[in-house]
Amino acid sequence: MTAVPPAAQTRTMSTAEAFQIPLAVAESYEATFVPRMFQEWAPHVLDAAHVGPGTSLLDVACGTGIVARTAVDRVGDDGTIIGVDLNGAMLTVARRVAPDVDWRQGDVADLPFEDGTFDAVTCQMAMMFFPDRDRAVAEMIRVTRPGGWIGLAVPASLDAQPAYRPFVDIAARHSGPEARALLGSYWNCGDADELVAGLEQAGLGPVDRRTRTGTATFDSSDALVATEVESTPLIERIDEQTYARIRSDVGEALAHYTTPDGLFEIPFVGHVVGAQVPSAS
């Protein structure tokens, strides 16, 4: 999850400034995180948003564009696809990988589209980064036509993560309870009941939800620890011995996730939600 560390946000920065990342980080996100973690969620999010032939689709917080790219064959020649992200570097990679898709820079809190423009809006693994989630949902609803669908995927809460939870527990045991908050923001949208209640309150319905277990693959357990710890301020608060103890204990506790070919494959649990914008009466 290093590509867009929520810890990069500070009170003195605008949301757009806080999310700008170097191009190399966006390239690395595309080369590793997309195939090793996020790609498998895209068809489920598109199903949740009822995307099919002829759909006009907006993919919000598109990153390097995996959901939009996965939709190309589904929507066919009669469909249209636009990907929007706050981050210029993510969009540079998206344009390189799929030059034929329409990629635009924009903030989910203020989407640059007329009311009711799209049949479907998707947002995969990004809601937890939005400072004003209600506003984001309201914007997604505004740009979707009456009767259209919104499809979301979010990581489930930390308690529901069979591998990430023990990792965070070990980090907190060695470095203090603040580790939990520092490593925890990725999971803060993961209460499915709360998420669905928020969508219903915003006027969406019916709301379908499904919890599924995907896989996150790392080169080793050390690589998992490095990815998570070094993308947060936790790395500045621990000394080398503490860091080594975290790596060692995580390696031991999660050894059973090492595959015969030496990779480290852990479960990554998420919620996929599809919600319909009410038809105009």
Q: Is 268 in the site for ligand SAM (CB under 6 A)?
A: no
Q: Is 93 in the site for ligand SAM (CB under 6 A)?
A: no
Q: Is 272 in the site for ligand SAM (CB under 6 A)?
A: no
Q: Is 90 in the site for ligand SAM (CB under 6 A)?
A: yes
Size of the site for ligand SAM (CB under 6 A): 23
Q: Is 129 in the site for ligand SAM (CB under 6 A)?
A: yes
Q: Enumerate residues 34-53 that contact ligand SAM by CB under 6 A.
A: 34, 38
- Which listed residue (49, 57, 81, 125) binds ligand SAM by CB under 6 A? 125
Nearest to 75 by CA among 101, 103, 105, 38: 101
Instruction: Let me know: does 63 contact 85? Beta carbons within 8 Å.
Output: yes
Q: Is 86 in the site for ligand SAM (CB under 6 A)?
A: yes
The site map against ligand SAM for 130-169 (x = CB under 6 A) is: x---------------------------------------
Q: Look up residue 84 and give its amino acid.
A: V
Task: Give the nearer residue to ligand SAM in terms of CB position, either 67 or 82.
Answer: 67
- Which listed residue (56, 70, 87, 221) binds ligand SAM by CB under 6 A? 87
For residue 141, the minimal CB distance to ligand SAM (Å) is 16
- Which listed residue (9, 15, 28, 258) binds ligand SAM by CB under 6 A? 15
Q: Is 63 in the site for ligand SAM (CB under 6 A)?
A: yes
Task: Give the nearer residue to ligand SAM in terms of CB position, either 65 or 79.
Answer: 65
- Which listed residue (48, 103, 107, 274) binds ligand SAM by CB under 6 A? 107
Using CB under 6 A, list all residues that contact ligand SAM.
Answer: 3-4, 15, 19, 34, 38, 61-63, 66-67, 85-87, 90, 107-109, 124-126, 129-130
